[in-house]
Structure 1
Amino acid sequence: MQQLSLDKRYSQSADHLVSICHQLLGDKYNPITTDILKRLTYELEVILKMGYADYFLVVWDIIQWANKQGIPTVGRGSVSGSIVSYVLGLTPVDPIKYKLLFERFLNPARRELPDIDIDVCWKRRDEVIQYIYNRYGNNKVAMISTFNTYRHKSAIWDVARAMGIPSEEINKLISMSMEQYENIRNEKYNSQYRRIVNLAKYLEGRPRHMGTHCGGIIISPNYITDHVPLQQSIKGPVVTQFDMHSIKKIGLVKIDILGQRSLTVIAEVADTIQNKYNVHLDRYIMSDIDEKTAKLIRNGDTIGVFQIESPGIRSLLKKLQVDTFEMIIAASSVIRPGPADSGMLRHFIERHHRKKDMNIGHKSLIELLKDTYGIMVYQEDVIKTAEVIAGWSLHESDELRRSMSGKEKKETFAKHRARFIRDAVKRGVSVEETIEIWRQMETFSGYAFCKAHAASYATLSVQSAWLKAHFPAEFMAAVISNHGGFYNASCYVEEVRRHGIVILPPDVNMAQPHCIAEDIKGNSVLHKKNRSDKFVGVRIGLLQVKGLTRITLKKLLGKRKERPFESLEDFCIRAKPNFGEVERLIRCGSFDTFGYTRPQHLWRLKLFYNTIKTNGDDLFASIVKYSLPIPRVDYPIEKKLRDELEFMGLTLEKHPLWIWKKAIQFYINQFGKFVHAKDLHRYTGKKVKLVAWIISTNRTKTKKGEPMLFVSCEDLTATYEAILFPVAYRKFGRLIKRQGPYIIEGIVENDCGHTPLRVKNIIIIQDK
């Protein structure tokens, strides 16, 4: 690791790190207790003994620089369990308050090099990377490479292409099912397809090409080429020819610098509030779960909120009535597929509501695991259990945790088991209780999550929720602008609408490149007011218009600063867009305020460009004359919505389903009454039909390796989740190629209060 000389008063990095930590300790703790000093001293001793002082100083230096530039950062992963990282400002969570373990990150017995992962504003990540190159030298810094390996379809494609198969035929081959591939592979004659499939099978898992790690970067103490070979990547940066695993083996420590959209959302909203209302927001204010924020979280009103916006987690928030930081940490940990499939999630919910007692074998564990109702939700729970029950040191307990996670050999795991039972019995725990405790540890440890990481990300969840609760328009505008989150822009627009906030078009005189919150004239019954007691809307950004070039956008913004555009023709002459760009802007409502309808503007546009062709482009809008009057006509709402959906991926006035209103009514008349998504909880166990507009899909596999699909949908009332298990996926998966609309028929299930739909049938709604 690079030797730092950040302060000439210190000849050694160790002295420098110790001095900084003691200087900054008072900023985090008041009063500074004996326990706090003891924890800091212990961690520093371990860090210095293991030779990682420079590592911490380098990361601290990067964070310091980023913060001075106004680039938000957050440390994540097990490093959040370190008081040193908390004091240095690398991580946002107090490890003492939330009982986080330093040993999960670093301990004397750990053989692997530690990782410090830092998330930064996704828009400014390149600035941070460039600073690292400038600060430590281009000859000492490199990004880490990855080796992208062949998967089934890519192997088929490359082999078939090498054998001269036409692209159309390759596409047919790729679209075949696994069963069809097996039939080809088992053919007795040596067909060309059989050769392709067999060669592709041989290639699967082998390197295809080199890529760049999403965030990994290494800093060498001397010339980096003394340690690892380099090469120029396709995208530009110099990368190592070793991947991250080989980098660790040769003793180089990596730092992960990853772009994070939610950090950008939080920072942009805070800046907007500062400029708009002269209210300064910092992370401490936004990390406070006040009643308004707690209500939003309890109600599962968290679409757009970092990490707690999926259908499953929103349902869980309502089921648990989550309103504390600790419960957000727990909820975001138990909702993952492993705990849910293992039954841990159901046990957690039942114990939360006191439907089951907490008799978990030994009285020591009741106190130890009281926050999670006796369930080992976190990896740290396994470590603490081994410490309390068997009397092991924390670093010995972490070794056990690692062996249970599958990173150690089975023989090592068996030795840990025998020793655990022996040591626990010596401490007075009965053999039966010890074996039961071990069984629980073994059962849950494979699904347990790192609490330190969950706590770090829960901070962003709380800050996001606070902003949505207090400044919903500004918050949702930033979410849409940063293309972040679980859903697409159309879904977030509908969430804005559900909150009584008006959606405004990307007007050429008022819209910014990105979405913004804007004061409007509103209706006290329909529309929401902002902090200044004014009605508020979200104006769609100009960048949302597909096909609008950056050059035209730059001209638009520049000319608008001189004076507002007075008409469509004025815009065309001054901004000089091409015909297609203006047409798209018209269809997206960008000229609606000029007093003409959209078809009238399209008519004017054609006449204007015909005039330009005839007379040249050195005209002023005021002298453009039309020989014929323009008829006063307008498009029906369905046509406007269809255009908006095509050119922006969202709709302004109403939900996209309004485009197919007549067709949907036809199907309702044919099939009978449909259920609304907001009422699904009333139909548990029953077969129902719903209208579906798809907002996200997640293809995965069952334990048997069969493909299935999770589909997040919405109708005009709410969002819901539909599940295509393997049989349904084979029948209907091919139909889901667009957002919709669809009719989905299925059984409403009750999954710990969550009511997903087990799909039995899907019908594509056709225009009528």
Structure 2
Amino acid sequence: MATLPRLKPREFYDLVVEVALIRPGPIQGGAVHPYLRRRRGDEKPTAPHELLEKALSRTLGVPLFQEQVMQMAIAAANFSAAEADQLRRAMGSKRSTEKMLALRRRLMSGMAANKITGELAEDIYNKLEAFSSYGFPESHSISFAYLVYASSYLKRYYPAAFTTALLNNQPMGFYSPASLISDARRHDVAIRGVDANASRYKAALEPPTPQETAAYRRTHPHSSPHPQPAIRLGFASVRDLGAKAAERAAAERDEHGPYRGLEDFVRRTALPRAALEALATAGAFGCFGLTRREALWRAGSLAGTTEAHLPGTSGAERAPALPPMTAVEQTFADLWATGTSPDSHPIAHVRAELDATDHTRIADLDDLPDRRLVRVAGIVTHRQRPPTAGGVCFLSLEDETGLVNIVCSPAVWAKYQRVGLAHGALRITGHLERSDGRGGALNIVAGRLAPLRVAAQPGNLRGRDFR
């Protein structure tokens, strides 16, 4: 793997600042939009007062880091170093708001001594107080920025390895395994399902087939320029299996050779019926020439078979003629068994209906103008209502082409809250909102929420709520 390229100092520091900007402290202190306007050159980068120029010069006149708050208190209010440290500790404590209020009189009197009074003094105090709601030290921002850069680089150039590492360290992060796999597939990484004779304990990388390599060379602009291995899902991803049983299934095969058939698998692993049926539902026994329904029927008959039983006496070989699962049934079988679908997305199965009713694919939103009224539909992957957002609820909506952020105002959320919480898939009608022109962050400001039927049980489509 190539060495991580070095960013120019200015580029890296811009990333450091962007990490700090998204903390509640700078948001509540009104620092975000002024900083962005100043960085674009739309606004002159001046500090609120000349005494604060030195402390705020490197962040274009707006406070973004805890250290700057300490420097501002020293410069504008004649705080001693000890008092500034007391301010820092107040900002970091669980009762920081109350402690900040106790320091208000000292701050205001110190600023008055420097002829900083009235609205200006209140504005400076409000900026300082905002940091009691989580402002970052600069050192934290630098560490986070490096993690962001390294992760972005790996995701851009080595998406298969990056996705596999995330899958193997669940639960973690913002995105579910289903979203991680969908994103990798959208970037032309081949995903292979659980296989009794190929899967490891956890997800693993496998050499791509010539067909997969050829397909990857026809990538869209955001895919890696490097050919990618395929991702094979592991036994650990299957429900009702458990870590020890998943490890045993992989270790038994590695030690004594491939499984010769479903009965051989059952004898050698001694897995219970629920685990066998989950593996069959996930398609893990396709390597034995069995469809999923055939494997389910035989798994039920073979459950409990051990080395003490005579081979071929279970009756499982005399399976009735069973129709194979449809594409829709297979997708939801994957979701039930592993929480992911290696080769499809639930919304893809209703795309014809959505196209006929003027629903825009999420990937196509980038081509539409700001404020355009749109209709989109997808799986709700997250619901968030942060305390700093004034009652606004944010939904993450995913279809087979991508993800988009949905902004629900307090009034809209109050009206559609029951729909938004009760359904795992939604139709959204709203207006596009771009934060920074074409190419900037894109949201949909919702005006209406309606359920979308995708023939799934609610448990298949559960989002991560209010974290």
Q: Could you tell me how far 1:585 is from its partner in structure 2?
A: 0.6
Moved more, 567-576 or 383-392: 383-392
Structure 1 residue 356 corresponds to structure 2 residue 19? no
Out of 281, 293, 296, the position equivalent to 1:599 is: 293
Q: How much does 1:743 deviate?
A: 0.8
| Pairing 1:584–2:278 present | yes
Equivalent residue, structure 2, for 1:640: 330
Q: Which runs of 5+ in 1 are unaligned?
A: 1-276, 280-284, 295-321, 425-430
**2: CA distance, partners of 1:633 / 1:390:** 79
Matches of 1:469 and 1:714, distance apart in 2: 20
Q: In structure 2, do the counterparts of structure 1 residues 435 and 376 end up closer, same or farther at CA, with 3 Å as the change threshold?
A: farther
Deviation at 1:329, TM superposition (A): 2.5
Pairing 1:552–2:275 present: no
Alpha-carbon spacing, 1:418–1:389, altered in 2? closer, same or farther (3 Å) = closer
Report the RMSD for the aligned CA atoms in angstroms. Answer: 3.6
Give distance in 2, aligned partners of 1:514 and 1:586.
Answer: 18
Cα distance in structure 2, aligned partners of 1:581 and 1:507: 14
Q: Quick one: structure 1 residues 581 and 397, their matched pair in 2 at CA, closer, same or farther if it must change by over 3 Å?
A: closer
Say if 2:433 is the partner of 1:749. Answer: yes
Are the aligned partners of 2:38 and 2:45 in contact in 1 as well (CA < 8 Å)? yes
Give the Å deviation of 1:355: 0.6
The answer for the alignment partner of 2:97 in structure 1 is 406
Q: In the alignment, which residue of structure 1 is the partner of 2:23?
A: 336
1:319-398 mapped onto 2 (5 Å cutoff):
324-340=11-27, 342-362=29-49, 365-388=52-75, 392-398=79-85
Q: Report the equivalent of 1:444.
A: 127
Question: Alignment partner of 2:382: what SS?
Answer: strand
Q: CA deviation at 1:656?
A: 2.4
Counterpart contact for 1:742–1:762, Cα < 8 Å: yes
What's the TM-score, normalizing by structure 1?
0.51
- Indicate conservation of the 8 Å contact 2:347/2:399, yes or no: yes
- Whether the 8 Å contact between 2:104 and 2:125 is mirrored in structure 1 is no
**Structural mapping, 1:668-687, within 5 Å:** 668-669=355-356, 672-681=357-366, 682-687=368-373
User: What's the CA shift for 1:410?
Assistant: 4.6
Distance 1:629 1:718 in 2: 41
Identity %: 22
The CA deviation at 1:628 is 5.3
Which of residues 170, 181, 187 in structure 2 aligns to 1:493? 181
Deviation at 1:536? 0.6
SS at match of 2:448: strand
Q: 1:558 to 1:419 in 2, by over 3 A?
A: closer
**What is the identity, as a one-letter code, of the residue corresponding to 1:680?**
L
Q: Aligned residue for 2:402? A: 718
Distance 1:701 1:392 in 2: 31
Q: Which amino acid aligns with 1:396?
A: E
Equivalent AA in structure 2 for residue 417 of structure 1:
M
**C-alpha contact (below 8 Å) 2:297/2:319 kept by paired residues:** no
Which amino acid in the other structure matches residue 127 of structure 2?
A: F
Aligned with 1:420 (options 103, 106, 111): 111
Say whether the 8 Å CA contact 1:505–1:589 is kept in structure 2. Answer: yes
Q: SS of 2:442's equivalent?
A: coil
Do the aligned partners of residues 290 and 717 (structure 1) sit closer, same or farther apart at CA in structure 2, a change above 3 Å counting? farther
Matched, 1:524 2:207: no
Distance 1:766 1:532 in 2: 38
- In the superposition, the TM-score normalised over structure 2's length comes to 0.80
2:414 equivalent to 1:730: yes
Equivalent residue in structure 2 for 1:512, among 200, 208, 216: 200
Q: 1:765 aligns with which of 437, 452, 455?
A: 452
Q: What secondary structure sits across from 2:205 in the alignment?
A: strand
- What is residue 424 of structure 2 aligned with on the other side? 740
C-alpha spacing 1:652/1:420, structure 2 compared with 1 (3 Å): same
After TM superposition, give the deviation of residue 632 of structure 1 in Å.
Answer: 8.3
State the secondary structure of the residue aligned to 1:742. strand
Superposed CA deviations along residues 383-405 of structure 1, whole A, max 9, x for unmatched, are: 22344456654333334556786
Q: Look up the equivalent residue of 1:345 and give its one-letter code.
A: V
Q: Does structure 1 conserve the Cα–Cα contact (< 8 Å) formed by 2:347 and 2:454?
A: no
Aligned to 1:156: none
Deviation of 1:420 after TM superposition, in Å, equals 3.4
Contact 1:573 1:620 in 2 (8 A): no
Cα distance, 1:453 vs structure 2: 2.9
Instruction: Name the count of aligned residue pairs.
Output: 436
Shift of 1:723: 2.3
Cα distance in 2 for partners of 1:487, 1:653 equals 18
State the one-letter code of the partner of 1:596: L
Q: CA deviation at 1:506?
A: 1.8
Does the 8 Å contact 1:744/1:763 carry over to 2?
Answer: yes
Output one character per residue of 1:208-243: Cα deviation in whole Å (capped at 9) or x when no partner: xxxxxxxxxxxxxxxxxxxxxxxxxxxxxxxxxxxx
- Distance (Å, rounded) in 2 between the aligned partners of 1:693 and 1:470: 27
Return the match for 2:230 from 518, 534, 537: 537
Over 3 Å counting, the alpha-carbon distance change for 1:628 and 1:540 in structure 2 is closer
